[in-house]
């Protein structure tokens, strides 16, 4: 008599159960890759901002305008608005220095609240975000607030005067960068 080779029903069920357990434990690791990729992209943008602001500051120092307060008078270095030698937190400041595509790749917002240090904020352009919140019809300040609420952004706070008073003794705070990726 010839014995047939194959799997019994019990063996097949055991294999399916084992594969199911592996899928349940491995799936969260793979599903989290999108979040990690977004967070890494934000870190990359932070590095690009650091590089761009350093280059602009170097050009401002060569021009001798690194101590001029761009908050009171417009100081332009190679077509980029600056304050204390660093790009301002405006579209024609840090965004221009980065040559950032805010039409398709990134969404930007700018803090326009009076009596506060200006800030720019960036998040990746995600179709779900843009459709649900109607970004195109928002003001700079509204976009700034909406992006901040998503907890997935890079924030650039421009350099600002820390002492006031005598221009000969001017000291300033360098720009600050903050990456928030808890909502990515």
Write down the pLDDT at residue 73: 74
Q: Give the whole-angstrom CA distance, residue 41 versus residue 156.
A: 16
Residue 15 lies in a domain: no
Write down the pLDDT at residue 100: 87
Residue 46 lies in a domain: yes
Residue 10 lies in a domain: no
Residue 43 lies in a domain: yes
Contact by Cβ (8 Å): 155, 123: no
How many structural domains compose the chain? 1
Quote the Cα angle for 183-121-103, to 5°.
100
User: Which residue range(s) make up the domain with 157?
Assistant: 35-180
pTM of model > 0.75? yes
User: Residue-wise pLDDT tens for the chain (184 aa)?
Assistant: 567 677 788 988 999 998 888 888 877 776 777 888 889 999 999 999 999 999 999 999 999 988 888 777 778 898 999 999 999 999 999 999 999 888 888 989 999 877 778 899 999 887 655 556 667 788 889 989 988 988 999 999 998 876 655 555 566 788 999 999 998 8
Which residues are registered as beta bridge partners of 58?
A: none
Contact by Cβ (8 Å): 84, 160: yes
Q: Give the whole-angstrom CA distance, residue 107 versus residue 112.
A: 16
Residue 162 lies in a domain: yes
Residue 17 lies in a domain: no
Residue 68 lies in a domain: yes
Residue 110 lies in a domain: yes
Write down the pLDDT at residue 20: 86
Write down the pLDDT at residue 168: 59
Write down the pLDDT at residue 23: 80
């Amino acid at each position: 008599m010839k014995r047939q080779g194959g799997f019994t029903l019990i063996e097949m069920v055991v294999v399916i159960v084992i594969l199911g357990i592996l899928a349940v434990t491995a799936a969260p690791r793979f599903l989290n890759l999108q979040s990690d990729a977004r967070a890494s992209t934000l870190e990359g943008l932070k590095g690009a901002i650091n590089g761009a602001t350093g280059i602009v500051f170097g050009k401002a120092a060569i021009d001798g305008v690194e101590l001029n307060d761009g908050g009171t008078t417009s100081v332009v270095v190679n077509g980029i608005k600056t304050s204390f030698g660093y790009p301002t937190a405006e579209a024609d400041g840090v965004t221009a220095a980065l040559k950032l595509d805010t039409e398709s790749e990134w969404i930007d917002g700018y803090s326009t609240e009076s009596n506060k240090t200006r800030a720019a904020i960036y998040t990746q352009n995600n179709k779900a975000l843009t459709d649900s919140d109607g970004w195109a019809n928002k003001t700079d300040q509204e976009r700034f607030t909406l992006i901040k609420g998503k907890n997935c952004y890079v924030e650039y706070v421009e350099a600002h005067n820390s002492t006031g008073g005598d221009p000969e003794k001017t000291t300033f705070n360098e720009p600050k960068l903050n990456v928030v990726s808890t909502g990515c």
